[in-house]
């Protein structure tokens, strides 16, 4: 396996609201390798976006550490490292209608990061970089002079991606990049992200709730629920052998575009009280090679048995 | 089809909007039958006219819009001729109710949940407050709200998104409508909540016997809920049929393209099929088939003349020249063939089971 690019260790994020504390993320561990797309899947409020925001240092980590390219980037870091982090970790947001400055030209939007960090020698080089970024996402040079309102949703998301690419990052956090887009445009944006990964060796943290998209796009998937990672495996493995009851309920809830399957399926609802954690609490266990799940020793035995005695027949 | 009792009959409907001193044709001659008790799903990308179409059923077109032609027959009258708000109040919300996408915006944040349900019942059914409250509580219970006596006095912000959508459904059902229009009812919700809401609407449909129209762009939701499907593109219905016909035997190249762009059927590492280009602007007259410029199966005639509907089966029609006997053979995309095979497998295994 290639080198670890990003490593999240025992991450905990707590929000303080007056006297009340709310822990949005607890004991989260995962690595993202170079050239990998790692997906975090979960419902709203599960903490997946908070993890993304903590990595790019918008939210501080309460406990735990984050390493990027071998350096610790959580907590207090010096200015040089901060600049390095901003340049190399970039984020694409969900709603392209809300994440572009309506009063700025595309040229300015794409080069704002370049201005902030003085990443060009002269005007020519800056324009070259902007044009290159626009070309990479399938937009034309003439689009640079236009304003965001002149573009469709799919094109706007491309502009967001161009803005990120102009910084030449190593790592992109894509927070629900296609959920605000139309079906026919989703494919365009997914293909684009895929292409860029292959051409530039980018790595992604892909945050999503749509498992059908994640299955297609991600190499490995982490399932998150109420701030805790419940299960982590490669995409194929997770769909073939979903172990944790929450993962199963999530899989059963995804509507598949196949009427005969949909009309005969039964919905599994996750009930956290199925876990008997009074005597033995859960820990992060590797049940199959590379397939981790949050379970206690009794559950580990059950999970393993469920998929070794009879063949994986679900779905 | 067995159900022949149409409840709503749309014929040659044309809807136009005035935008910046120009006229835009949002619905370009749509005809549609809705059968009693069925669930019809209308699919299409944003701007295809699916929401505008159903807004004409309740007289809720924006003020710059107007119906420029056609008829909508419902309970022996033509809804196109209903003009005043007073007349509409006897239909909208009473006979035909709508559940909108965003439960955050369809409830009044300043009013208690219970009041928002009872006021609808008091107004439309002219019932005394205590009777209305009794009905409201039983409706809340029906849509799966627990501890209704307490939750009756809560405000919307005290409800989660899924619970709010349940309340919106309860309000929509308060007058026992004959038709329930669900406009992207679960798009703003999480998948697990979405599945529960879809189940809820289905079970309520059994109890109340209303007819449902779903508007959605999510083919997974369509497969889950629909009996019949109508596919819309650029203000027209381009294909309609039973849900199995549309998924396992689609005939229109636009439906093919929609199915091909689904990530579920794609192999990892291979690019997804993306429909090239953008839908045509509706300000201008569209010559020929509106999908032709984006359609790799387009024939010469597609750019000249608009195709009529061709019959595939008693219930399945598609508006494409490819079905004309003179058209050359068009080999459908791989994803469509996969779906066709899937459909056959299920049909066979169902026949096996029946023996």
pLDDT for res A179: 79
- Average pLDDT, stretch A209-228? 91
pLDDT tens digits for range A263-307: 888 888 899 999 999 999 999 999 999 999 999 999 999 999 888
Is residue A315 in some structural domain?
no
Contacts of A186 in chain B (CB under 8 A): 261, 263
Mark yes or no for CB contact B198/A255 under 8 Å.
yes
Is residue A61 in some structural domain?
yes
Is residue B163 in some structural domain?
yes
User: How do strand A283-288 and strand A291-295 relate by DSSP bridges?
Assistant: antiparallel
Q: Are B140 and B159 in contact (CB under 8 A)?
A: no
**Smallest CA–CA separation between B83 and chain A, in Å?**
34
Same domain, B167 and B264: no
pLDDT for res B337: 93
pLDDT for res A97: 82
In which domain, by residue range, is A259 found?
4-308
**Smallest CA–CA separation between B337 and chain A, in Å?**
13
Is residue A313 in some structural domain?
no
Q: Which of A37-46, A304-313, B249-258 has the highest mean pLDDT?
A: B249-258
Contacting B with CB below 8 Å, chain A residues are 43-44, 152-153, 182-188, 190-191, 194-195, 209-213, 215-217, 235, 249-250, 252-263, 267, 269-270
Q: Are A270 and A246 in contact (CB under 8 A)?
A: yes
Mark yes or no for CB contact A255/B218 under 8 Å.
yes
**Smallest CA–CA separation between A163 and chain B, in Å?**
23
Contacts of A184 in chain B (CB under 8 A): 45, 257-258, 261, 274-275
pLDDT for res B1: 41
Contacts of B262 in chain A (CB under 8 A): 183, 212, 257
Percent of chain B predicted with pLDDT > 70? 97
**Smallest CA–CA separation between A213 and chain B, in Å?**
6
Who among B224, B259, B274 is closest to A255 (CB)?
A: B224
Of B172, B45, B185, B260, nearest to A185 by C-alpha is B45
- In angstroms, the Cα distances linking A167 to A172, A178, B334 are 11, 21, 38
Who among A187, A258, A262 is closest to B274 (CB)?
A: A187
Domain count, chain B: 2
Contacts of B194 in chain A (CB under 8 A): 253, 255
Is residue A314 in some structural domain?
no
Q: What's the half-sphere exposure (Cβ side, CA atoms, 13 Å) at A30?
A: 31
Contacts of B257 in chain A (CB under 8 A): 184
Mark yes or no for CB contact B263/A215 under 8 Å.
yes
What is the overall mean pLDDT for chain A? Answer: 90
Q: What's the half-sphere exposure (Cβ side, CA atoms, 13 Å) at B335?
A: 23
List the structure tokens of B133.
């409250």
Among chain A residues, CA nearest to B199: A267
Contacts of A259 in chain B (CB under 8 A): 223-224, 226, 243-244, 247-248
What residue has token string 């559940």?
B99
The pLDDT of residue A313 is above 60: no
- Strand partners for B34: B8
pLDDT tens digits for range B134-152: 999 999 998 989 899 999 9
Mark yes or no for CB contact A183/B258 under 8 Å.
yes
Who among B248, B268, B273 is closest to A187 (CB)?
A: B273
Of B277, B270, B271, nearest to B254 by C-alpha is B277
Of A283, A221, A248, nearest to A48 by C-alpha is A221
Q: Are B299 and B306 in contact (CB under 8 A)?
A: no
Query: What confidence tier does B3 reach under pLDDT thresholds 50, 70, 90?
Result: very low
Query: DSSP letters of A243-289?
Result: -SHHHHHHHHHSPPS-HHHHHT-------GGG--TTTS--EEEEEET
From B141, B176, B211, give the residue that closes a domain.
B176
List the structure tokens of A269.
């609802």
Same domain, B251 and B170: no
Domain count, chain A: 1
Contacts of A210 in chain B (CB under 8 A): 191
pLDDT for res B192: 84
Same domain, B149 and B253: no
Who among B199, B264, B271 is closest to A212 (CB)?
A: B264
Q: Are A4 and A31 in contact (CB under 8 A)?
A: yes
Same domain, B164 and B250: no
pLDDT for res B124: 86
Q: Are B323 and B289 in contact (CB under 8 A)?
A: no
Residue A119 phi/psi, 5° resolution?
-90, 25
pLDDT tens digits for range B85-106: 999 999 998 999 999 887 778 8
Who among B45, B196, B263 is closest to A182 (CB)?
A: B45
- Average pLDDT, stretch B272-288? 87
Task: For chain A, say whether B222 makes contact (Cβ under 8 Å).
Answer: yes
Q: What is the dihedral of CA A23, A28, A33, A35, to 10 degrees?
A: -40
Among chain A residues, CA nearest to B266: A216
Mark yes or no for CB contact A216/B261 under 8 Å.
no
Who among B223, B261, B343 is closest to A184 (CB)?
A: B261
pLDDT tens digits for range A29-68: 999 999 999 999 988 888 888 999 999 999 999 999 999 9
Mark yes or no for CB contact A210/B192 under 8 Å.
no
Is residue B138 in some structural domain?
yes
Task: For chain A, say whether B226 makes contact (Cβ under 8 Å).
Answer: yes
- In angstroms, the Cα distances linking B139 to A282, B112, B124, B162, B170 are 40, 15, 16, 16, 6
pLDDT tens digits for range A158-209: 899 999 999 999 999 999 888 777 777 788 888 989 988 998 889 999 998 8
In which domain, by residue range, is B267 found?
242-354
The pLDDT of residue A124 is above 90: yes
User: How do strand B6-19 and strand B39-43 relate by DSSP bridges?
Assistant: unpaired
Q: B92: which DSSP letter?
A: B
pLDDT for res B4: 59
Mark yes or no for CB contact B191/A183 under 8 Å.
no
Is residue B334 in some structural domain?
yes
What CATH number is associated with residue A258? 3.40.50.300
Mutation target vs B (from A217, A257, A267; most B CBs, 10 A cutoff): A257
Mark yes or no for CB contact B220/A262 under 8 Å.
yes
Enumerate helices (H) and strands (E) in chain A, giving the number of each: 11, 12
Q: Report ipTM (2 d.p.).
A: 0.82
Burial grade of B331 (CB within 10 A; 0-12, 13-18, 19 or more): exposed
Percent of chain B predicted with pLDDT > 90? 70
pLDDT for res B354: 61
Q: Say what the pTM is.
A: 0.86
């Amino acid at each position: 396996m290639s080198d670890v690019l990003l490593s999240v260790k025992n991450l905990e994020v707590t929000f303080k609201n007056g006297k009340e504390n709310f822990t949005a993320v607890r004991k989260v561990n995962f690595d993202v390798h170079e050239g990998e797309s790692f997906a975090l899947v979960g419902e709203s409020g599960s903490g997946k976006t908070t993890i993304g925001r903590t990595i790019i240092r918008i939210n501080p980590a309460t406990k735990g550490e984050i390493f990027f390219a071998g350096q610790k980037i959580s907590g207090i870091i010096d200015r040089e490292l901060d600049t390095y982090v901003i340049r190399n970790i970039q984020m694409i947001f969900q709603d392209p209608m809300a994440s572009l400055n309506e009063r700025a030209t595309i040229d300015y939007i794409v080069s704002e990061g370049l201005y902030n960090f003085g990443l060009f020698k002269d005007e020519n080089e800056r324009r070259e970089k902007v044009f290159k970024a626009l070309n990479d996402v399938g937009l034309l040079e003439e689009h640079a002079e236009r304003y965001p309102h002149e573009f469709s949703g799919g094109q706007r998301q491309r502009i967001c991606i161009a803005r990120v690419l102009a910084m030449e990052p190593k790592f992109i956090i894509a927070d629900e990049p296609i959920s605000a887009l139309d079906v026919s445009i989703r494919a365009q944006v997914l293909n684009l992200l895929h292409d860029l990964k292959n051409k530039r060796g980018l790595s992604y943290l892909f945050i999503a709730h749509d498992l059908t998209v994640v299955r297609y796009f991600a190499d490995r998937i982490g399932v998150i629920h109420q701030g805790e990672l419940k299960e982590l495996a490669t995409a194929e493995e997770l769909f073939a052998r979903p172990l944790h009851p929450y993962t199963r309920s999530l899989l059963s809830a995804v509507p598949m575009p196949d009427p005969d399957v949909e009309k005969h399926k039964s919905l599994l609802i996750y009930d956290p009280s199925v876990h008997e954690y009074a005597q033995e609490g859960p820990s992060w266990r590797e049940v199959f090679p590379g397939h981790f799940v949050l379970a206690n020793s009794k559950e580990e035995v059950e999970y393993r048995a469920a998929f070794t005695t009879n063949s994986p027949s679900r779905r | 089809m067995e159900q022949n009792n149409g409840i709503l009959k749309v014929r040659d409907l044309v809807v136009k909007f005035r935008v910046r001193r120009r006229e835009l044709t949002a619905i370009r001659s749509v005809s549609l039958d809705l059968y009693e008790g069925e669930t019809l799903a209308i699919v299409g990308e944003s701007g295809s006219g699916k929401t505008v179409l159903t807004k004409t059923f309740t007289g809720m077109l924006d003020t710059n819009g107007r119906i420029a032609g056609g008829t909508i027959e419902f309970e022996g009258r033509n809804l196109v001729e209903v003009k005043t708000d007073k007349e509409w109040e006897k239909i909208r919300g009473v006979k035909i109710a709508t559940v909108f996408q965003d439960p955050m915006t369809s409830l009044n944040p300043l009013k208690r949940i219970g009041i928002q349900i009872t006021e609808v019942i008091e107004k439309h059914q002219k019932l005394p407050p205590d009777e209305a409250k009794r009905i409201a509580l039983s409706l809340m219970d029906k849509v799966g709200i627990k501890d209704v006596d307490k939750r009756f006095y809560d405000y919307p912000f005290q409800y989660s998104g899924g619970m709010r959508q349940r309340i919106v459904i309860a309000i929509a059902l308060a007058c026992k409508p004959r038709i329930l229009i669900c406009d992207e009812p679960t798009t703003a919700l999480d998948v697990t909540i979405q599945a529960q809401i879809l189940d809820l609407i289905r079970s309520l449909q059994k109890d109340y016997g209303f007819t449902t129209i779903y508007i959605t762009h999510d083919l997974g939701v369509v497969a889950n809920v629909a009996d019949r499907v109508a596919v819309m593109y650029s203000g027209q219905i381009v294909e309609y049929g039973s849900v199995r016909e549309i998924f396992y035997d689609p005939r229109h190249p636009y439906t093919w393209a929609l199915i091909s762009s689904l990530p579920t059927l794609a192999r990892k590492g291979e690019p997804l099929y993306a429909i090239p280009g953008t839908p045509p602007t509706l300000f201008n007259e569209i010559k020929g088939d509106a999908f032709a410029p984006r359609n790799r199966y387009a024939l010469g005639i597609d750019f000249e003349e608009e195709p009529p509907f061709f019959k595939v089966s008693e219930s399945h029609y598609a508006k494409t020249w490819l079905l004309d006997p003179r058209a050359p053979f068009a080999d459908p995309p791989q994803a469509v063939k996969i779906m066709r095979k899937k459909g056959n497998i299920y049909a066979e295994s169902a026949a096996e089971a029946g023996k």
